[in-house]
């Protein structure tokens, strides 16, 4: 752990609050944690309230010789109530009372590790975060920068690591930023989830620019309502991105006006990205082919063209959002646009994973909401001469309201195979029934009613088997994930591997031969 020589005052804790807790501002800090089990002498414990109330564990932290406990006013009352051994008067307990302990932890972690790449950008939105962050990292690399991107699929670029949380907790986040800086990374792009923003995880990151891709229904298992979800996303601009930063915003999204007004009220430069006539970086047209697309766009009134090796219209929009962020971080626009032909799709995001012997292509995408599934189907349709087949499901123990909406979205495919995603603790057949209910009562897909195959491996095999030479198969929902959780147990499962195995089995190829189509 870093933090050599840092003091309580150096963590950004107000001097008045330290004095009220009987603490010396120049007291040295040995470490920080929100887990009482990790506390060692001289550490500061942050009592966070979530599923459990961290204040209930503060007495244990104090007995482990914590230097201080940072908590809310109600948390302080809990600590005093639970303090059950002979001790100094309650007011002498080293409790630093702050309005928001999570925010205090984020700022303290930034100060404690005290190292970040010089140029940082964050991207939020319901869909596209991973692709935009990856594209931005690739743009920077094309410009000769030592760059990295991190989020849902892990860390990629100059430093590589497997995936975890979209936005890590502040300690893990700032430890990673310090590691990247130590490895010579000068430019880094991060994903900012609504959970992470609502929990202040990204606060303390010194951002140069931030992007908003879109906002549609998602995470209603966590947020009170859609307005709460929108507010969490916009906190990236209202709280995290500093004055003078650049906000790259989707000009076609319904919340654009709200987001732009918020950004401008804080003195941020706004770059509007989209298809509308008021966009600063405007996508005016695209020609789609089997392995990618040719983009026509304008910047400051000048028409330009670039080809990218990524399938799906939304990937063109993601590429331009990444370009806007690079420009917002100080790069020359012409140099940025020159890097676009080198972009490649990120793992699990409209990723071409296999090709049948007859030429039919198979794609894996992370689309797991109604809006993202609708977008993915429409995007792949542009690259599909024949039938478009989709295999998808919905997760258990999550927003059940989106299941019929996903079924409705899947009607846009020619054939829909309803299968299991991550049922978690719920009965898989109940989830599938809710999806299929959303497909009823309207014009169904041209070929047939939905095909229900619970076993995801069998569903993928069936989809691959249906493919004619001009058809395409979209396997949606899990993307880069390498496990499937059923009845509380996570089993190894990779959509891409399953697709390649199905091609090998049906076409009589060695499985390695089935991978010849994995690169766009």
Is residue 398 marked as binding?
yes
Mean pLDDT of 512-516: 40
Is residue 138 marked as binding?
no
pLDDT at residue number 246: 98
Mean pLDDT of 107-116: 97
Is residue 125 marked as binding?
yes
Entry pTM: 0.86
For 194-212, b where at least 16 C-beta lie within 10 A, e where not — what string? Answer: bebbbbbbbbbbebbbbbb
SS3 of residue 18 by DSSP: helix
CA neighbor of 496 nearest in space, from 517, 472, 479? 479
Asked if pLDDT for residue 191 goes beyond 60, the answer is: yes
Q: How far is CA 185 from CA 138, 175, 328, in A?
A: 13, 14, 18
Asked if pLDDT for residue 91 goes beyond 80, the answer is: no
pLDDT at residue number 491: 96
* Residue 325 and residue 188 in one domain: yes
Q: How far is CA 276 from CA 129, 216, 282, 284, 324, in A?
A: 21, 19, 7, 8, 16
Confidence of residue 195 (pLDDT cuts 50, 70, 90): confident
Asked if pLDDT for residue 25 goes beyond 90, the answer is: yes
* Residue 143 and residue 239 in one domain: yes
Q: How far is CA 259 from CA 214, 270, 342, in A?
A: 11, 9, 31
CATH number of the structural domain spanning residue 475? 3.90.190.20
Tell me, yes or no, whether 3 lies in a domain.
no
Q: Which residue has the higher pLDDT, 494 or 290?
A: 494
Tell me, yes or no, whether 441 lies in a domain.
yes
* Least reliable range by pLDDT among 165-174, 192-201, 210-219, 396-405: 210-219
Is residue 404 marked as binding?
no
What is the total residue count of the chain?
A: 520
What would the two tokens of residue 167 be?
């936005």
Q: How far is CA 21 from CA 18, 30, 98, 327, in A?
A: 5, 18, 11, 46
Is residue 142 marked as binding?
no
Residues 60-86: tens digit of each pLDDT: 999 999 999 999 999 999 999 998 665
Query: CB count, 10 Å around CB of 486?
Result: 18
Is residue 258 marked as binding?
no
Q: Which residue has the higher pLDDT, 226 or 191?
A: 191
Mean pLDDT of 353-363: 97
* Residue 16 and residue 132 in one domain: no
Is residue 128 marked as binding?
yes
CA gap 322, 156 in Å, rounded: 16
pLDDT at residue number 448: 57
Q: Are 417 and 389 in contact (CB under 8 A)?
A: yes
Question: What average pLDDT is seen over the chain?
Answer: 91
pLDDT at residue number 78: 95
* Residue 202 and residue 276 in one domain: yes
Is residue 201 marked as binding?
yes
Mean pLDDT of 120-146: 96
Is residue 318 marked as binding?
no
Asked if pLDDT for residue 517 goes beyond 90, the answer is: no
Last residue of a domain, one of 73, 108, 143: 108
Query: CB count, 10 Å around CB of 188?
Result: 31
What would the two tokens of residue 28 be?
């040295």
DSSP calls for 79-115: HHHH--SS-S-GGGS-EEE-S-HHHHHHHHHHHHH--
Is residue 193 marked as binding?
yes
CATH number of the structural domain spanning residue 246? 3.40.1190.10
CA neighbor of 132 nearest in space, from 153, 114, 118, 115? 153
* Residue 294 and residue 367 in one domain: no
Is residue 216 marked as binding?
no
Total structural domains within the chain: 3
Is residue 300 marked as binding?
no
* Residue 365 and residue 511 in one domain: yes
* Residue 253 and residue 374 in one domain: no
pLDDT at residue number 290: 86
Is residue 369 marked as binding?
no
Is residue 266 marked as binding?
no
Percentage of the chain beyond pLDDT 70 is 92
* Residue 274 and residue 369 in one domain: no
Tell me, yes or no, whether 1 lies in a domain.
no
pLDDT at residue number 198: 92
* Residue 94 and residue 179 in one domain: no
* Residue 240 and residue 321 in one domain: yes
Mean pLDDT of 394-423: 95
Residues 233-288: tens digit of each pLDDT: 999 999 999 999 999 999 999 999 999 999 999 999 999 999 999 999 999 999 99
Asked if pLDDT for residue 220 goes beyond 80, the answer is: no
pLDDT at residue number 519: 35
pLDDT at residue number 164: 66
pLDDT at residue number 301: 85
Is residue 238 marked as binding?
no
Is residue 182 marked as binding?
no
Is residue 481 marked as binding?
yes
Is residue 126 marked as binding?
yes
Give the domain range for residue 483: 351-517
Asked if pLDDT for residue 365 goes beyond 70, the answer is: yes
Asked if pLDDT for residue 298 goes beyond 60, the answer is: yes
Confidence of residue 88 (pLDDT cuts 50, 70, 90): low
């Amino acid at each position: 752990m870093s933090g050599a020589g840092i003091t309580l005052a150096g963590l950004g804790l107000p001097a008045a609050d330290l004095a009220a807790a009987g603490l010396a501002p120049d007291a040295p800090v040995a470490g920080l944690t929100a887990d009482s089990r990790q506390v060692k002498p001289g550490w500061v414990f942050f009592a966070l309230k979530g599923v459990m109330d961290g204040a209930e564990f503060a007495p244990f932290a104090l007995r482990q010789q914590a230097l201080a406990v940072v908590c809310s006013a109600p948390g302080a009352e809990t600590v005093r109530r639970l303090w059950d051994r002979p001790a100094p008067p309650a007011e002498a307990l080293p409790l630093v009372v702050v309005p928001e302990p999570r925010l205090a932890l984020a700022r303290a972690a930034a100060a404690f590790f005290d190292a970040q790449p010089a140029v940082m950008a964050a991207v939020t939105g319901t869909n596209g975060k991973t692709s935009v962050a990856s594209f931005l990292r690739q743009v920077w690399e094309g410009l000769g920068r030592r760059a990295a991107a991190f989020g849902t699929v892990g860390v990629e670029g100059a430093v590589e690591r497997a995936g975890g949380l979209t936005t890590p907790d502040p300690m893990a986040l700032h430890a990673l930023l310090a590691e990247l800086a130590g490895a010579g990374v000068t430019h880094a792009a991060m994903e900012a989830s609504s959970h992470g923003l609502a929990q202040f995880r990204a606060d303390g990151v010194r951002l140069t620019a931030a992007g908003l891709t879109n906002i549609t229904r998602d995470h209603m298992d966590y947020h009170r309502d859609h307005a709460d979800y929108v507010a969490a996303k916009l906190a990236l601009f209202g709280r995290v991105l500093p004055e003078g930063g650049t906000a790259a915003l989707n000009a076609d999204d319904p919340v654009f006006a709200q987001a732009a007004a918020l950004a401008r009220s804080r003195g941020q430069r706004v770059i509007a990205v989209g298809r509308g006539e008021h966009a600063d970086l405007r996508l005016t047209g695209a020609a789609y082919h089997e392995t990618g697309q040719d983009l026509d766009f304008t910047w400051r009134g000048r028409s330009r063209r670039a080809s990218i090796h990524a399938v799906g219209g939304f990937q063109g929009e993601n590429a331009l959002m990444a370009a806007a962020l690079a420009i917002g971080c100080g790069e020359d626009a012409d140099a940025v646009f020159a890097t676009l032909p080198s972009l490649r799709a990120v793992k699990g995001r409209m990723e071409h994973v296999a090709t049948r012997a007859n030429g039919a292509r198979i794609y894996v995408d992370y689309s797991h909401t109604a809006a993202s599934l609708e977008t993915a189907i429409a995007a792949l349709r542009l690259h599909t001469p024949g039938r478009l087949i989709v295999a998808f499901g919905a997760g258990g123990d999550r927003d059940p309201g989106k299941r019929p909406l996903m079924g409705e979205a899947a009607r846009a495919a020619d054939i829909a195979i309803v299968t299991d995603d991550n049922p978690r603790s719920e009965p898989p057949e109940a989830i599938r029934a809710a999806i299929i209910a959303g497909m009823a009562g309207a014009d169904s897909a041209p070929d047939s009613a939905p095909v229900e195959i619970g076993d995801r491996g069998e569903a993928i095999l069936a989809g691959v088997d249906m493919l004619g030479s001009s058809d395409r198969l979209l396997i949606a929902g899990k993307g880069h994930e390498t496990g499937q959780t059923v009845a509380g147990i996570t089993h190894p499962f990779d959509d891409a591997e399953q697709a390649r195995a199905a091609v090998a089995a049906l076409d009589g190829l060695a499985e390695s031969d089935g991978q010849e189509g994995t690169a766009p």
